[in-house]
Amino acid sequence: MDTLFIGQNIIKLKSVDSTNNFLTNLSNKSSLVEGTLVVGYNQLDGRGQHGNKWQSEAGKSLTISVLLFPKIDLDRQFLFNKCISLSICETLKHFDISPRIKWPNDIFIDDKKVAGILIENSIQQQIISKSIVGIGMNVNNDSLDFTFATSLKIHKSMHFDMDHLLVLLCKELERHYLLLKSDTKSIIERYDNHLYRVNLPTTFLANDSVVKGVIKKVDDLGRLVLEIEGEIHSFSWGELRFDFS
């Protein structure tokens, strides 16, 4: 692996419940180097955000977890999420794909989800001391059970070399992780530029009401900032969801 540390220590598993679970348990039991990468060929019980399940197909989906020690302040937590989302986008751009980040951190191609991120942090004295970054991507799947999901293969009508994709992803993760420490502004700007439906009038559902606004950015706390009838409003996750109906 042509990287400094991400993926230098790599654990490949034929079968695993969840790569995040595996790496969490292992890192609790033994001291692992930063950048340790767990790759699951067949993930049987993948976890998604907010207690959802994450489905994958043996050999066709990319399911990985990376161990990082970001040592960033808890109040800058979302910046770390931005860095990871951006790394996935930049990886896909190597294949002439134009991905978007659907707030807060789903990776979309056109109007469909191609990848998801599950970041699980350990906090010590207001600092993120350890992070398990789980990434699931639909790669060579021929069909998916969900209407709003796609795979790289479906989108590009070609087969993807999983090893090559993984190397590129590790390189982009590392590049952005280092950039996070040296040029935070560029992460913020580029995340906003990649936002799904940025600067476009968009309809959302908030509890029982419909909200129409223009996406401007995502702030440092991870809130979606909308312009609604000339005024700026910020929404936390859970207050608002995209209306796909």
Please provide residue 29's backbone torsions phi and psi, each rounded to the nearest 5 degrees: -95, -30
24 binds ligand BTN (CB under 6 A): no
Instruction: State the binding string over 26-55 for ligand BTN (x if CB under 6 A, else -).
Output: -----------------x--xxxx--x-x-
Stretch that binds ligand BTN, among 5-13, 17-25, 120-128, 153-161 (CB under 6 A): 17-25
- Nearest distance in Å: CB 116, ligand BTN: 2
87 binds ligand BTN (CB under 6 A): no
> Which residue of 116, 139, 180, 194 would you call a contact of ligand BTN, by CB under 6 A?
116
67 pairs with which residues across the strands? 132
40, 47, 34: which is closest to 13 by C-alpha?
40
198, 197, 60: which is closest to 142 by C-alpha?
60
Cβ-closest position to ligand BTN? 116
How many chain residues touch ligand BTN (CB under 6 A)? 20
195, 188, 187, 202: which is closest to 233 by C-alpha?
202
User: Are 64 and 46 a contacting pair, CB within 8 Å?
Assistant: no
Stretch that binds ligand BTN, among 96-104, 131-139, 208-216, 234-242 (CB under 6 A): 131-139
Stretch that binds ligand BTN, among 116-124, 184-192, 194-202, 234-242 (CB under 6 A): 116-124
131 binds ligand BTN (CB under 6 A): no
Enumerate residues 6+ apart whose C-beta is below 8 A from 192: 198, 217, 218
User: Are 83 and 180 a contacting pair, CB within 8 Å?
Assistant: yes
Q: Give 47 or 213: the residue with its C-beta nearer to ligand BTN.
A: 47
Cis peptide before 99 (omega within 30 of 0): no
> Which residue of 36, 65, 138, 150 would you call a contact of ligand BTN, by CB under 6 A?
65
112, 104, 137: which is closest to 241 by C-alpha?
104
Interacting residues toward ligand BTN by CB under 6 A:
18-20, 43, 46-49, 52, 54, 63-65, 106, 116-118, 134-136
